[in-house]
Structure 1
């Protein structure tokens, strides 16, 4: 679901970035108020960012030769609220894009809209309805499942409208070459059939874990024992993160130019990568694809996960000192 650079037109990227900017502003204002009321919200944002990062490292094989992953948007909204989740996943996506090359720089606002806005707010709204009618667990299930599929639908639309809004004079697509008839079913089927259910399972498991270690307030980690539980969970996920390497293929809409060209030829849709994708913005991340030169890819995966956890926790620690 991490849309790379050059799959979307500059107009699409600019429009979505402009759309999320006021949402970020509102989120900062609301989270500042939340921190004053619940001081542990700030360290929990660091934990939430780490948790989202780790969840997204576990790629899943999808029938048809692609992959997908869970995100944890609804889970984090239940833990710390949707506005704090918006900021937490935004920070996660920022680190993924700049340090690990997962998701684009120009398409950053698009990915934020899908995974840090639509998913957590839709999922949380459904969860609250379930809780209101005394069916909290059902709310967790439906919220997490519908939340991630709402984001997948939006991503499919964003990709699929590109041939309609960005093309040459002869009608050739400049960016994503697939129309809505391909992108929407591809994104939805992957998440309806596989990723959505993994999202549900993971959300339920962590929801039960949190209720066990902190049953009175789901995001109240006011004692060191509860914080230790979280650290154990994050380290455990980091150590098993190489399981995400089992899914070898690339997710739909995240191919590099060589992979896309091979796909187009295989599908008899031509042999040329769209011009905008060839001549677009190409950013080389320091640890692209969570690899570290000279190390086995599994070790690089683990070190990338641990690095992300440290970055998030150090960032929160710095913010904590600033707010004192």
Structure 2
């Protein structure tokens, strides 16, 4: 679901990026008001969970791959505004360091995975939980919220892909950016997510939520002590397991490189050309593209990338927590 650069027109990216600005602004204000200094590192943990879950690629129907996102999980644990910030930071680091998702398309990816997914997933969870007041209702809400959240996010992404050939063509009528119309992009994105990726998202969400509820209920319930070390232990375990994501071969739908897309087969026919917007579009070289490190085996590069990402999130949100502590202390003084 990570849209690369040059699949969406610059104007599409600008519109979706502009749409995220007020969302991020409100989210930052809400986080400042609602998240205490002691809980601020949890935003880094949330970003780490999202980052690691997105590294576990799974095979999807049609020979492509997909992944969970964890947006609903973070929203349930910390609130949807905190989830928006955590997933946005995870997406930014992925784009800048690992080339997973575009730089220009960052706003679009954040709109889909850091806004639609966690907010919709959370409100479905809350709606069910508030009406079925039992543990069963809680888990039904978690399952349906996470499953529907990622599927609607995928559906919105498919629309973003599919409107490109309608709106942006060259003088000969060929698409400048994503060449696949809605009749192709919608089923190509939604069917695999309905059948597989949504199930993976729900399973990850339930398993991790259940683990955190057992070992650190204070992360979920106010007035109970948080046990962060147990959560860090889970993150270490996930880091060690990330190379399993390498077992899924194939490229995620809509994430082919300019050197691949002309050979992609749809409806029995290869595309046969490279859209000009992709061929001559924006180019950015990530430091560790595709989570690989030159000179290291793929599995070692994957683990090193996971460690680097988690370290960045942990340090970043600890610094933010310290700044909040100092600011609150100065205000109190």
TM-score using structure 1 length: 0.96
Q: Is the 8 A contact 2:27 2:85 kept in 1?
A: yes
**What's the CA shift for 1:40?**
3.1
What is the aligned partner in structure 1 of residue 9 from structure 2? 9
Closer, same or farther: CA 86–24 of 1 in aligned 2, 3 Å: same
SS at match of 1:257: coil
Q: Deviations over 1:17-50 (max 9, x none)?
A: 0000000000000100012xx3333110000000
Q: Superposition pairs for residues 106-117 of structure 1, below 5 Å?
A: 106-117=104-115
SS at match of 2:59: strand
Q: Is the 8 A contact 1:214 1:221 kept in 2?
A: no
Q: Superposition pairs for residues 156-167 of structure 1, below 5 Å?
A: 156-167=158-169
Q: How many residues align?
A: 321
Q: Given the alignment, which residue of 117, 136, 139 partners 1:137? A: 139
**What's the CA shift for 1:179?**
0.3
Tell me how far apart the structure 2 counterparts of residues 268 and 302 of structure 1 sit (CA, whole Å): 37
What is the aligned partner in structure 2 of residue 200 from structure 1? 202
Q: Deviations over 1:44-83 (max 9, x none)?
A: 0000000000000000101211001010111110010000
SS at match of 1:240: helix
**Bigger mean CA offset, 72-81 vs 268-277:** 268-277
* Structure 1: gaps of 5 or more residues: none
SS at match of 2:65: strand
Superposed CA RMSD in Å reads: 1.6
Closer, same or farther: CA 292–222 of 1 in aligned 2, 3 Å: farther
SS at match of 1:203: helix
Tell me how far apart the structure 1 counterparts of residues 201 and 263 of structure 2 sit (CA, whole Å): 31
**Bigger mean CA offset, 121-130 vs 206-215:** 206-215
Tell me how far apart the structure 2 counterparts of residues 18 and 219 of structure 1 sit (CA, whole Å): 35
What is the aligned partner in structure 1 of residue 31 from structure 2? 31
Tell me how far apart the structure 2 counterparts of residues 151 and 303 of structure 1 sit (CA, whole Å): 29
* Structure 2: gaps of 5 or more residues: 327-333
What is the aligned partner in structure 2 of residue 120 from structure 1? 118
Tell me how far apart the structure 2 counterparts of residues 83 and 184 of structure 1 sit (CA, whole Å): 28
Tell me how far apart the structure 2 counterparts of residues 318 and 124 of structure 1 sit (CA, whole Å): 27
Q: Is the 8 A contact 2:216 2:231 kept in 1?
A: no
